[in-house]
Chains A and B, each alone.
Chain A
Amino acid sequence: MPSPFILDRSSVTQVMAWVLAALLPGIAVYVWLFGPGILVTLTLATATALAAEAAMLKARGYPAKPFLTDLSAIVTAWLLALSLPSLAPWWLIVTGTLFAIVVAKHLYGGLGQNIFNPAMVGYAVLIVSFPVQMTQWAGPLELSATPLTLAQSAGVIFGGDVPKSTLDAVTMATPLDALRTGLLQQHTVDEIMTQPIFGHYGGTGFEWLAGAFLLGGLVLWALRIISWQVPLAFLAGIWLAAGFLHFFDAGRFGAPWFHLFAPSVMLGAFFIATDPVSGATTPRGKLIFGFGAGLLTIVIRTWGGYPDGVAFAILLMNLSVPLIDAWTQPRIYGGAGRRGKEPPA
C-alpha cells in the first residue's frame, strides 16, 4: 500500500448526506405551504431509486453495499421529486425515477460516469412525454379552498377515485405557467402579475420555497460541499439575461427578481447545476457552465416551448462540459499554459 497512509474524514456518503440535509429546509417549507403531498412523492421516488439502483448494481456485477450506502441514488430521487408537480400520478414518478437511475446513471457507467444529470434526464423525459400530467401542481394552501390531507394526496397520486372536479379544485397553474399563458394572450406583465398566484418577488408560496432552497444551498456553499462559482454564475446568468430583457421591454418580459425566485432556479443553481459528475471541473469552466445554464434558462422560458427551462438548460450545459473543461485548463504552479512538456530525461 503506497503513500499517503492517512485520509481526511470525507466520503462520498458524507457529501451526499449533506446535500440531502440541505434539502430539508426546502422540504419543510414545501409541506408547510403546499401540503404534505410532496412527502408521498419523495417516498415513492426514493423507494423506486433504491430498488432500481440495487437491481442495476446486481445486473452489472457490482457490490451493492458501498454503492447503495453512498446515498447518490437518494439524492437523484429527491431532486427529481422536488422538480415534479406535487400531485403527479405515481406511474409518472416511477417512470421518471427509473429512467434517471437505469438509463441516465447506470447505462452510462454508474456513479461518476453519467455525462447528464440523472434527475434532469428523468424530468426531461417526463415533460416531453407527458406534458399534461406534468401540470398537476398543488396550489399554495393560502389560495386553496380545500387543502388535501396526506391521505387525500396519496389518493390522488396513486389514482384513487378522485373526481376530476376535486383535482381541478386543488391544482393550479404555477406562476411561470400563468406568466406564459398570460403573455400568449397578449396581456402585459403588469396585468398578469395582479393574479393572486403572484407574490412579492415570485409566486405566492413559491418564493418562500425558493428562499428555503437558497438557505440550504448557502449551507452547502459555506461547507464547501459545492463550489462558489456555479451557483453564483447561474444566478448571475438568470439575473443579467432577465434584467436585460426586462429593461428593454418591461411589458413583455418578467422582472429579474421574479425569475430568480422561482424554486426551480434555486434548486437548479445550488443542487443540480452543482452536481460535480456532470458539471465542469475547472474554476473558469464552472463560471462558464453556471452562467450558460442561467442564460439558457431565461432563453427557454422566454422563447421556448415550455414554461420553465432549468432542466433543459442544465442538460445542454452538461453536453458542453468536455469542451469547456478542455478550453479552460488553468495555469499550473510555475507554468504558463495548457500545453504539456517533455518528461525529464
Chain B
Amino acid sequence: MSRELFRFKGGVHPPEHKSESNTRPVHAAPLPRKLVIPLRQHIGNPARPVVEVGDRVLKGQLIGAADGYISAAVHASSSGIVSAIGPAAIPHASGLPDECITIETDGRDEWIDHAPIDYRALEPAELRMRLRDMGLAGLGGAVFPSAVKLDPGATHPCPTLILNGGECEPWITCDDMLMRTRADDILQGVAVMRHLLGSTEILVGIEDNKPEALASMRFAAAKLDFAIEVVAVPSIYPGGGAKQLIETLTGKQVPSGKLSTDIGIQVFNVGTAYALARAVHHGEPLISRLVTVTGHVLRPQNVEALIGTPMQVLIDLAGDRDGTTGVLMGGPMMGMPMPDLEVPVVKATNCILVKSKELFPPLPSALPCIRCTRCADACPAELQPQELFRFAKAGDFGRAQEYHLFDCIECGCCSYVCPSHIPLVDFYRYAKSEIWAREKEKRAADLARERHEFRQFRLEREKKEKAEKLAAKAQAARAQAALDQAQRAELAATPAAEGTAQSDADAKKALIAAALARAQAKKAEVAPKNVDHLSPDKQREIEEIEARRAKIRELARQPLETDENKS
C-alpha cells in the first residue's frame, strides 16, 4: 500500500482554511435569470457561436462550436432565449470584456435530447471529437481542452495516468467535496481516460489533509475491475501542481520546455474526470461544476453551479456580509481579482473567495531586496527568483530568459516568503509579457523582411529572364532575317507560285489574332475576378487583411530591438 514518495524542492505551508467550506453539504445553486456564457473558456481558439439572438435554446444545446483542434465547444447551461451575442464582462483580472452568449432563462430547465455514449464502440479519434464538442476542458485551473490531452499520439505512449486530487491552494475544497461525494463517477471518467490513453499504471494523488476524500476514493477504487492506486501525498503548497505531483509520485521531473507526455505521464484533475464521466455515461456536456464559495461569507460552502451563473448569485447564496474588500476567482496564492460580481462562473472557476480586511490584511509596502534567498529556497521550479527579479526590474529580459524565466509556474511561493514583501510574481509576469510582445514584433518584422527580400529576388530574376528572352528574340530575328533574304533570293530566281501571297496574308492575320488573344488572356489574369460583387462579410475580411498587412509593413519599418542587437 505504501508507495515510495519523493519530495520536490521548495514549497510553503500557508494556513489551509479548508474547514470553513468543507463541513457543509454540496447544494445545487439556484437557476439564475440570466446566464452569460463566454466563448473563450479554455486555452486555444474561442468557440464559434452557432445560435442567433432570439433563438430558443435547450439545456445542453450547443451554442458555440469548437473552432479547430485546440478548442472546445460551449453549451447552454439551461433552457431560455438567447438575448445577446457580443462583448460582456468575463472573469479576468484585466476587466476587459470578451465575446459571450447571454441567455435569459425560462425557468423550465428543459434538457435537449441526450444519450450515453458507448465509448468502447467508437474510434478513439471520433470519441475525442465528441468530447471536444461536449466542451470538456481541464477543470483544475488551466482549462486546456481535454480531447487534445486524451490523444496519446503515435510518439507519446502514456503508460502512467495521474489523477490530481491534490488541491493544495488554501481555502479551495471543491475537489475535496467532489471526491467525497462522487468518487464512483470520477473513476468512471478515469476508465474512459485509460481506454483512450492505454495507460497501464493509474495513480491518484490526494494531499493527506483530506482523509475523507482519500477514504472515499479508496473505497470506490476497490470496486473497479482495473488497478488504481490512491496515494496520500504530503500537504505542501504547490504539491498539487502537475509537475510537483508527478515528482512526488514518480520521482521524475518533466524536462524543462517539454510536456509530461514526453516522459509518458498524463495528468488530469479529478473534476475533469467527473465531467468526462457525465459526458460519456449520461451524454451531458460540461455545463456545470462544483465551486467553493468561501472567505468573508456567512455560510462558506461548495455549490454545483451552472456555467454562466453570475458570481453574485453564489455569494448571495453563501450569505453576503458587510466589509467585503474584494473577490478572487481561485485561491489566495494564484487566484485573480474580479473586476465586478456580475461576471459569470466559467469552467475555470474552482473558487469564489470573498476577501475582508481581517482575512486578507492589506499587503505591506515593499522594501528593497536583501538577497536573503528565501525565495530560492521556496521556489518549486528551483529558480533563483532574486536574480529574475533583478533582471526583470532592470528590463534585462535577455538575462531573465537565460535564468529560466519561462520555467516559472507563477505559484507565488517566492512572494509569499519574501521578507521585503516584493510582489515578485508580478515582475515575472511583466517580463514574460514584454518578451512575448517583442518576440511577436520580431516575428512580424522577420516575415516582412523575408517577403521584401523575396520580392527583390523575384524582381531581379524577372529582369534577368526578360533580358535573356529579349536577347534570344533578337538573335532569332537576325536568323529569320538572314533566312528571309535567302528565301527572297530564291523566289526572285523562280516564277511566283499561285496562292503564295494569299497564304502569306492569312498567316499574318492568324498571328495578329493569336497575339490579341494572348493580350486578352493576360489582361484577364491581371484583374482578379474575385473582387467583384463582394458580400459585406468578404469586404470586411479583405479590409482586415489589408489592415494587418499595413501593420506588418509598419512593424518592418521600425528598428529591430532584439537580443542580438543588444549583445
Contacts and interface: CB of A to CB of B under 8 A. Distances in A.
Interface of A: 1-8, 10-12, 14-15, 66-67, 70, 72, 110-113, 227, 276-277, 279, 281-282, 325, 329-336, 338-341, 343-345
Contact of B335 (A3, A227, A277, A331): A3
Interface in B232-263: 243, 247, 253-258
B205 interface: no
A67 to B, nearest CB: 8
Given A3-B332, A335-B407, A10 B419 contact: yes
Interface string B83-95: 0000000000100
Given A5-B328, A281-B373, A334-B253, A11 B335 contact: no
8 contacts: A2-B425, A3-B335, A4-B334, A4-B415, A332-B381, A333-B253, A334-B243, A343-B432
B374 A10 contact: yes
Nearest to B15: A6
B75 to A, nearest CB: 30
A334 B407 contact: yes
Given A332-B381, A333-B253, A335-B407, A12 B419 contact: yes
A112 B417 contact: no
A334 B332 CA distance: 27
A335 B404 CA distance: 9
Contact of A3 (B15, B334, B365): B334
A166 B93 CA distance: 73
Taking chain B's interface residues, is the majority helix, strand, or loop, or is none over half, making it mixed? loop
A333 B406 contact: no
B312 interface: no
Contact of A7 (B256, B335, B415): B415
Given A4-B334, A343-B406, A335 B426 contact: no
B419 A341 contact: no
Contacts of A227: 373
Q: Choose among A67, A282, A335 the residue with the greatest number of B CB atoms under 10 Å from its CB.
A: A335
Contacts of A3: 328, 330, 332-336, 410, 412, 425
A10 B364 CA distance: 11
A333 B381 contact: yes
A5 B360 contact: yes
A3 B262 CA distance: 30
A3 B334 CA distance: 5
Nearest 5 A/B pairs, CB to CB: A4-B412, A112-B368, A340-B402, A335-B256, A334-B253
Interface stretch (B121-129, B216-224, B382-390): B382-390
A335 B255 contact: yes
Contacts of B333: 3-6
B271 to A, nearest CB: 21
Given A5-B360, A282-B376, 16 more contacts: A1-B363, A2-B336, A3-B412, A6-B416, A7-B415, A7-B416, A10-B419, A281-B386, A281-B387, A282-B384, A333-B9, A333-B256, A333-B383, A335-B255, A335-B407, A344-B257
B329 to A, nearest CB: 10
B12 interface: yes
Nearest to B397: A343
A111 B368 contact: yes
Nearest to B401: A340
B384 A343 contact: no
Interface in B302-339: 328, 330, 332-337
B435 interface: yes
A276 B254 contact: no
B420 interface: yes
B382 A333 contact: yes
B6 interface: no
A276 B355 contact: no
Contact of A70 (B328, B335, B367, B415): B367
Nearest to A13: B419
Interface of B: 8-9, 12, 14-15, 93, 170, 243, 247, 253-258, 328, 330, 332-337, 355, 360, 363-365, 367-374, 376, 380-384, 386-387, 401-407, 410, 412, 415-421, 423, 425-426, 429, 432, 435-436, 439
Contacts, number: 158
B408 to A, nearest CB: 10
Nearest to A344: B406
B403 A11 contact: no
A186 to B, nearest CB: 46
A341 B416 contact: no
A341 B439 CA distance: 13
A329 B384 contact: yes
A345 B367 CA distance: 35
B337 A1 contact: yes
A7 B367 CA distance: 14
A339 B256 CA distance: 12
Nearest to B383: A332
Nearest to B10: A333
B562 to A, nearest CB: 13
A277 B256 contact: no
A12 B370 contact: yes
A4 B426 CA distance: 9
Contacts of A279: 371
Contact of B416 (A8, A110, A330): A8
A14 B387 CA distance: 23
A9 B554 CA distance: 51
Nearest to B420: A12
A111 to B, nearest CB: 5
A334 B258 contact: yes
A74 to B, nearest CB: 15
B403 A329 contact: yes
Given A11-B364, A112-B369, A113-B368, A341 B376 contact: no
Contact of A276 (B243, B335, B371): B371
A334 B374 CA distance: 21
Nearest to B260: A334
Contacts of B419: 10-12, 14-15
Nearest to B9: A333
A281 B170 CA distance: 30
B258 A110 contact: no
A329 B335 CA distance: 31
A248 B505 CA distance: 119
Contact of B380 (A66, A333, A338, A339): A333
A281 B416 contact: no
Contacts of A6: 14-15, 170, 332-333, 360, 416
A12 B381 contact: no
Contacts of A2: 93, 336-337, 423, 425-426, 429
A333 B10 CA distance: 11
A271 B436 CA distance: 43
B20 to A, nearest CB: 15
Given A110-B368, A333-B380, A334-B243, A341 B355 contact: no
Nearest to B407: A332
A311 to B, nearest CB: 20
B402 A338 contact: yes
B393 to A, nearest CB: 12
Nearest to B432: A343
A101 to B, nearest CB: 16
Contacts of B335: 3, 5
A157 to B, nearest CB: 32
